[in-house]
Structure 1
């Protein structure tokens, strides 16, 4: 995985290779920890049963441009109050290769030029087969970086690229959520968020067996970690980044995964992660499960930061994830995937017509 940080490289890449993928990830947790959300725009949905079927049959249509999608998850106190994962037709989507501008169906993400600030605006508007509805307007705002966080990085090399665009952002906006089983709600949102951009020129499982990722916003710095395990080696990286997203304060070179367990789907995951350097120690407890699928998990986790020479200790809550991409290709799990993803080219799965069932599918 080639890791770099450059908001100028956040536009869609000029690629449409077989099995490729690209996604723009946004998340945030409210200041009082009550609300959180994750929104991901995909060009080439790597979890799509339709995409994988085309890839397995060596079809010329097994290209990311044919399978755009968006996933939207909104949580209150760790429980889902809105969920959707929708794959649209390519004709209903747009990915600008000149600037960060993405349209997936009625949903939009775009960069906004503001002097001295890096600012993204997201708009959502959707009605599901279940009757659940969402409208949202969200802004991610941070200082404009003057340089890349990571030195000696060449984003042009490698089959898999991770652009850490906005480790820390101030997030404001609103959600309007309603449905047949819930009262209409207007949620004003204010908190801290995160944005990155992943690109692959081949399927994920070609590069790694699994990965752990997470981010936590401490009072003086942001922790981001990316732990990738391959068959023969590993790429474990973790950083404390200053609040202006301009400097790596500390790189945590030593990693330990503990307290492994298996889920009902047979997914084996470590629930405790230790990150260390000479001066800094972080313990991450992957606690509250937000999503628990056959090949991935999402947590609302707790991180405990200790800076030894300053006698400093702080705890914060943040979002972490685990994924094992090879399991996506196991046909045994496809019926569960079909419940989860709405393919607009097909009729909705019967589960997707019941709001309570669909929100709690996994």
Structure 2
């Protein structure tokens, strides 16, 4: 259960084997980036707003001829939760045996462009190792299927994508901005393992530096990547950095550039093996600014 005022999200991303296309899907209960949920928490006693009244599906497609982005938020009457399935509006994410299946049929907020398809993620293993992200255990990361293969069949726009995939989940007992000022995250896939880095500045003044190697056989080990590499700021002046074991890192493409969040494709190396990483930078102080809160409704389609 997601507590009042809290959040849960289920995240999936994929990069095509040829490096040309990518997709990201996030399903939210208690949408952390919703201005409507933020207002509801501000009005509720002790911030205890109902997260089920603010569920959402975010789908982002990247690549030649298919760039598309949707964020649809639904009320509780449009949501169904079962142990194996989360249905939000006309989209759903759930397990069918050992395969994670996402079916989505959404429209963009401004022009109503249809974005629809089915994505299947086939994990190599299930590490089942929840990781606390703060000292009090209020925010938790679950790397459910960090090393995986994805097959995506999109009908709108038309595209078949096959490549490396990743799936995790995050849960919080309080708003994300109550625990963190900012964070960065990245994952890089190799044939036999996936490398994940998590870095954050917490609101209590402490920092998070977490690195994990998830092997295809389910074995997990810590990762020591001690050298910080700056990646340059985005057009919205969001700072980007990552950590490596000494290998260079450079931006291949800025996939998403917003006033408080950036998603980037990064070229680096693990050991001496070249890899392409999915990288995210998040500024929660920017997210909380009145200007950004005023802008957000123009990007979100509130259905009910």
Question: Would you say same fold, with TM above 0.5?
Answer: yes
- Equivalent pair of 1:256/1:275 in contact (CA under 8 Å): yes
- For residue 333 of structure 1, report the CA deviation from its aligned partner: 1.3
User: Offset of 1:196 from its aligned partner?
Assistant: 0.4
Larger radius of gyration: 1
How far residue 188 of structure 1 moved from its aligned partner, in angstroms, is 1.6
Aligned residue for 1:171? 150
State TM-score, norm by structure 1: 0.76
In the alignment, is the contact (CA less than 8 A) between 1:238 and 1:275 conserved in 2?
no
> In the alignment, which of 155, 158, 163 is matched to residue 137 of structure 2?
158
Alignment of 1:142-153 (within 5 A): 142-145=123-126, 148=128
1:208 matches 2:180: yes
Deviations 1:223-242 (A, max 9, x none): 11111112522110112221
1:112-148 Cα distance to aligned partner (Å, 9 max, x none): 12xxxx3111111234462422221111012343x64
Q: Which residue of structure 1 aligns with residue 211 of structure 2?
A: 238
Cα offset, 1:266, TM superposition? 4.5
Alignment partner of 1:247 is 2:211: no
SS of equivalent to 2:44: coil
Equivalence for 1:319: 278
Q: 1:207 to 1:303 in 2, by over 3 A?
A: same
RMSD: 2.5
Describe the shift of the 1:94–1:283 C-alpha distance in structure 2 as closer, same or farther (beyond 3 A).
farther
Q: In the alignment, is the contact (CA less than 8 A) between 1:286 and 1:320 conserved in 2?
A: no
> What TM-score do you get using the length of structure 2 for normalisation?
0.89
Deviations 1:157-207 (A, max 9, x none): 7111100001111111300125xxxxxxx3122111000000010011221
- What SS is found at the alignment partner of 2:292? helix
- Name the residue aligned to 1:4: none
Count of matched residue pairs: 300
- Residue in structure 2 matched with residue 112 of structure 1 by the alignment: 96
What is the deviation of 1:260?
5.0
Mapped contact 1:73–1:80 kept (Cα < 8 A):
no
Contact 1:274/1:282 (<8 A) preserved: no
- Give the equivalent residue in structure 2 for 1:53: 39
Where does the alignment leave 5 or more consecutive residues of structure 1 unmatched?
1-13, 179-185, 307-312, 346-362
